Structure 1
Amino acid sequence: MMSPASRPKRVCIIGAGASGMSAAYALSRHPDLFSVTVFDKEGVAGGMATSIDIDSKKYGASYINDGVQGCSPTFANTMRMFRMLGYEPTEVGMQISFGKGDDFWTNVFPTALTSQFQNDIAKFGRVLKVIKKLEVPFAMMPVHVMLKLFGFSKDFGEKMVYPLVALFFGTGNQTPYISCAILERVFMDPSMKLFEYDSKSLLASIPTMLAFLKLHDVYESWKIETASRGNVNFKLNHNVLRVVSRSTSSSSSDSNSSGPIQIEFIPTTENLEERVTQTANFDELILAIDADSALKLLGEEATWMEKRVLGSVKYLYDVTITHNDLDYMKKYYEVQYNPSHNAPMPEDGSAEEYAEVERAFAFAKKNFRPLYYTMQYPEDKSKIEMSFDLTHYQPQFRGEKPAGPIKPGDTSSHRNEVQDQPSITREAQDLSNGKAGESDRTGKDSQGNAEPPLEDHVFQTIFLDRDGSQKLWTWDEIPEEKRIYEKWWKQQSHRWQHYAKVVPWMMWINGKKHTHYAGAWSVLNMHELAVTSGFAAAYRLGAEYPFKGDDDCERLFKLYLGLSHGVRARKEDRKGVFA
């Protein structure tokens, strides 16, 4: 019989989203050290990163990504993982359309609203620098308090600041209560920055975003690659009911069946005869699920500290309606360029300033193609609704193959590093798989690429905060025949209390009682943080960081390791004189 000291450490991972998959991948690279089982109640890996099929003859593409759309180019861990597997995100200009009518503004051209708020916009840049220098106290201050403290106008906060933060960090209708530190990091943090600040227009330019490829295929390839080393077993369609124990069992003399961690689970297959509750024992546990689900699974096993920290994560319930209702979009958003929104020419401006503004208007007339929209409810302008134009955003609507613009033979910058690519990757890279819906792409974008005409675009509208805002929702205005898909989400709130009661205290529960936590909720709701959190949990168990030596990837990993686990990288993984 193999002794516990000589056999691989048995690790249970609950959750096969970005964080669980990252932890499993890092552990899979050590088949002699770890034996891993990944549980997820769903039948596919990916968590929130899902793809759904749509009618290519009607919409000009055969699928959409649902839930996770893309990311900033600074998301180094996500990008390296995807490219290594044989998938390449597509660059897209991040155009926004906020508000309607007199309240409309955009980062594509100067509008009357940005002219109205010139003083507030100029002051905003100075305040960002103050917040950066004094980040710790400002992390505990909600945005609405900061706006009052520095004398910003109420309209500036509601019409410009709240929509900006809500859209890109998923804070929704909790935006007035989020930490000021998030606001500052949108502009200042090199690992999270989305915008360049401009003292006249707030946003300096149209940033480059990366639109994800077909996420179903990415995660399936990720699963196959992780399982290929033989030490990771995926139990999808298996629902973990509870954590029975996190202390060494004395009920069994067989050291291979006993262990500190005992869980209870049940298959979720359609075959009722297979739905039998089972138990399994492990040495270590990684909870790669949301905080309240983790707390529910722990039940009486949860410590006082875990109850306090996990119980302080607040979740909101939103619904996403994917639809094809252009009339709805035109009613509530500015979908097309309208010169009546142009800002007045600058008074006493130089010839160059006049020319610059004229160039912006000319560019917008030809190229205004928003990806993101927000609308404020007239009854309460601190609350918003968000929408996406998926046809503008996702590259399959312009004929890109499911793997994105990656060449099968390209091995530069870690692309296609997986030696034996699964068939799903090879199919996703096949040029012919980008032709779905080709005959229905009868319109053209500003670069002349074929895409569906505007009336055939696929939109997503997110109705936020069911419990606090449903009375304001206009979802009943989207007729059933225009709806493609409806999905409810549980969304983390980034209110300031999260940075007072959760983030600083994660290090005090991570690693206790053979348990580690992974998930973007531990800091900020971003795919990159989910990936990094999974790598960190595996690293604490003794696995190597998979992207060791890559400074761009290591930067956030080491920051997360210190913030959420309270430890430094191991000595052999540190550099410099003071390593």
Structure 2
Amino acid sequence: MSPTPALKRVCIIGAGASGMSAAYALSRHPDKYEVTVYDKQSVTGGMATSIDIDADKYGASYINDGVQGCSPVFANTIRMFRMLGFEATEVGMQISFGKDKDFWTNVFPTNLVAKFQSDIKKFGHALSTIKTFEPIFAMIPVHVMLRMFGFSNDFGEKMVYPLVALFFGTGNQTPYISSAILERVFKDPSMRLFEYSEKSLLASIPTMLAFPKLHDVYQAWREEIESHGNVKFKLHHEVVEVVARHSKGRSSVSSPVHIKYKVAHGGLESQHRENYFDELILAVDADSCLKILGKQASWMEKKVLGNVKYLYDVTITHNDHDYMRKYYETTYNPEHNAPLEANSPAQDRRETEQSFAFAEEHFRPLYYTMQYPQDKSKIEMSFDLTHYQPQFRGEKPAGPIDPQDKSEHRNECNPSAVTRGAQDESKGTIGESARTGKDDKGCAEPPLEQHVFQTIFLDRDGSQDLWTWKDINPEKKIYEKWWKQQSHRWQHYAGTVPWMMWINGKNNTYYAGAWSVLNMHELAVTSGFAAAYRLGAEYPFHSDEDCERLFRMYLAASHGVRMRKEDRKGLLA
């Protein structure tokens, strides 16, 4: 008999979306891999976190505070959640950008939209040009592109910058990001958020998906991964150094990857410990990758990873409606209505009047931005979490999913205790005593003065002197959290994205994380699947074209490879 092949030992550093995806794909092969996942936090999920709030005061017992939701085209994320027994909730994505004369929205045409009619019409032609010459425009920052096409400064500052900043997390670096991102908001089938309109820029109120309780999703995901028996999670374990990534000169140790880690819990840290592996997946941000690799980082890794720029933002969760009214348009005001032109076609007039009537009854923004008067290229962002997140209207933590529904991969994984608890209908009654108001459909929700808002103050080092955070009533603050955010400046698409393929798979090391392309949960998930695939694991959603489309693109862009021959269909797949 031939000896049983030894299991390949894989170390994954990071238990966010990318690390969990890699672990999940590898867990499906218990006969091939033995996996250890390290994370210094106490829970899995990375930036996808939930925090507890006072249900009797705010109408819900928790919020998702780091990641809110996604576009319906984010197929890998949606399918993974459904398999675990969780369902995202559809919500109309209404936006409120600017204040007073600078206000505009996708719900009804405003004076500002009327002012920029020529720029808006020209914008469609610019998108088509960018799509045609995408490799070139990937290297051109948005502020240069706007000048190239002859757009007014006001149009860029008041309409384009806020739009991109809000949905891609580019913040105050938006003028310097790649123009290709802008085109993908409207054109890319795997990332599209909006339909372009030559009259109003945004054609409609698109459907977004609000995530179920992310803490429970990730706990259930961890239990599903562990159920296969070949993956161990070491939370509160911080990897501090990669000592080596080859076995040269260490004849007693066959595994080339040598790491040092420490256990940090309750303010106490252990002495450094060591472990050995065959392969390494770094599912942490680029800065952390370089710090962990230390002297082991190659010249190429230092150049590619060192090119990723990070900024520091602070998120303040609060229920200060006075603050929101001071800086944003939170309710419908007919004074902002665009003028009805007497010579416009009757059909256009009817549609405009209908949009005003709709806004009067249904205006309920999820997203807000405000430009600072001192520098209108820099903004502040806010969310109305009560409008956005479904638990404030009585949805259970698992979202609107039937435990018996097996269609479209729902409840495909063995339900864990976490999943069953999140699917319990009684969980939706928590906080209902505070839900004394009504939403636009007549469903009970907290009144506006009890809404939970989240305001994000961007770019500590470059914009803190502009922040209005001291205007938030301290008694209205619920939670404050600092974040390390990737900048999507054009240099990222010149010096990092096209070069990832040259470092992925070198020295027994693979990289996973949305930072490798674009800051999206969907890309984080896809990147983890790609790293596991390079190690020989199957792509979990093979033959699901909606999921596989982005996976193939990512595999080509970040790893420089196609799917294996047996997984391909067609010459160009």
Task: Look up the SS of the partner of 1:446 in the other structure.
Answer: coil
Work out the number of aligned pairs and report it.
Answer: 572
State TM-score, norm by structure 2: 0.99
- Say which SS state the counterpart of residue 498 (structure 1) adopts: helix
The Cα of 1:557 is off from its aligned counterpart by 0.1
Residue 266 of structure 1 corresponds to 262
Q: How does 1:17-96 map to 2 (within 5 A)?
A: 17-96=16-95
- Say whether 1:330 aligns with 2:325: yes
- The one of 284, 297, 305 aligned to 1:289: 284
1:375 maps to a residue whose letter is: M
Give the drift of 1:269: 1.5
Query: Residue 302 in 1 paired to residue 297 in 2?
Result: yes
Question: 2:114 matched to 1:105?
Answer: no
SS of 1:268's equivalent?
strand
Deviations 1:166-192 (A, max 9, x none): 000000000000000000000000100
Q: Where do 1:330-349 residues align within 5 Å?
A: 330-349=325-344
User: What is the deviation of 1:275?
Assistant: 1.4
Q: Following the alignment from structure 2 to structure 1, what is the Cα–Cα distance between the partners of residues 177 and 262? A: 38
From the superposition, tell whether residues 312 and 577 of structure 1 become closer, same or farther in structure 2 (CA, over 3 Å). Answer: closer
Q: Paired residue for 1:225? A: 224
CA RMSD of aligned residues (A): 1.1
Partner of 1:418: 413
Q: Structure 2 CA distance, aligned partners of 1:332 and 1:40?
A: 39
Q: Given that residues 249 and 259 in structure 1 are in contact (C-alpha distance below 8 angstroms), is that contact kept between their aligned partners in structure 2?
A: no
Equivalent position to 1:490, from 484, 495, 499? 484
The Cα shift of 1:249 comes to 5.3
Cα distance between partner residues in 2 of 1:52 and 1:143: 35
Query: Bigger CA drift: 263-272 or 289-298?
Result: 263-272
Q: Provide the C-alpha distance between the structure 2 equivalents of 1:193 and 1:549, rounded to a whole number of angstroms.
A: 22
Letter in 2 for 1:63: Y
2:433 maps to 1:434: no
**Alignment match, 1:548:** 542
Q: Cα offset for 1:577?
A: 5.0
Unaligned runs of 5+ in 1: none
Aligned mates of 2:251, 2:71 — CA distance in 1: 51
| CA–CA distance in structure 2, aligned partners of residues 352 and 271 of structure 1 | 67
Show the counterpart of 1:382: 377
Partner of 1:242: 241
Distance in 2, Cα, partners of 1:269 & 1:218: 23
SS of aligned partner of 2:371: strand
Aligned-partner SS, 1:387: strand
Matched, 1:403 2:398: yes
Q: 1:353 aligns with which of 344, 348, 351?
A: 348
How far the C-alpha of 1:371 sits from its partner, in A, is 0.1
* 1:529-561 superposed Cα distances (whole Å, 9 cap, x missing partner): 000000000000000000011000000000000
Task: Give the whole-Å Cα distance in 2 for the aligned partners of 1:532 and 1:131.
Answer: 25
Measured after TM superposition, the shift of residue 346 of structure 1 is 2.5
CA separation of 1:577/1:143 partners in 2, compared to 1, >3 Å: closer, same or farther? Answer: closer
Distance 1:25 1:246 in 2: 24
Q: 1:382 to 1:271 in 2, by over 3 A?
A: closer
Q: Kindly tell me: are residues 299 and 451 of structure 1, through their superposed partners in 2, closer, same or farther at Cα, counting changes over 3 Å?
A: same
Structure 2 equivalent of residue 518 of structure 1? 512
* CA deviation map 1:282-323 (0-9, x unaligned): 000000000010001000000000000000000000000000
Q: Helix, strand or coil for the counterpart of 1:373?
A: strand
Partner residue, 2:559: 565
1:81-132, Cα deviation, whole Å (9 max, x unpaired): 0000000000000000000000000000000000000000000001100000
Deviations 1:379-429 (A, max 9, x none): 00000000000000000000000000000000000000013x111100100
Q: Which amino acid aligns with 1:201?
A: S
Q: Which sections of structure 2, spanning at least 5 residues, go unmatched?
A: none
| Secondary structure of 1:73 counterpart | coil
Q: Distance in 2 between matches of 1:249 and 1:86?
A: 46
Offset of 1:492 from its aligned partner? 0.3
Q: Is the 8 A contact 1:95 1:372 kept in 2?
A: yes
Contact 1:146-1:180 within 8 A present in 2 as well: yes
For 1:459 and 1:502, how far apart are their aligned partners in 2? Answer: 35
Q: Secondary structure at the match of 1:88?
A: coil
Task: Letter of the 1:7 partner, please give it.
Answer: A
Q: CA deviation at 1:250?
A: 3.8
The residue that corresponds to 1:147 in the other structure is 146
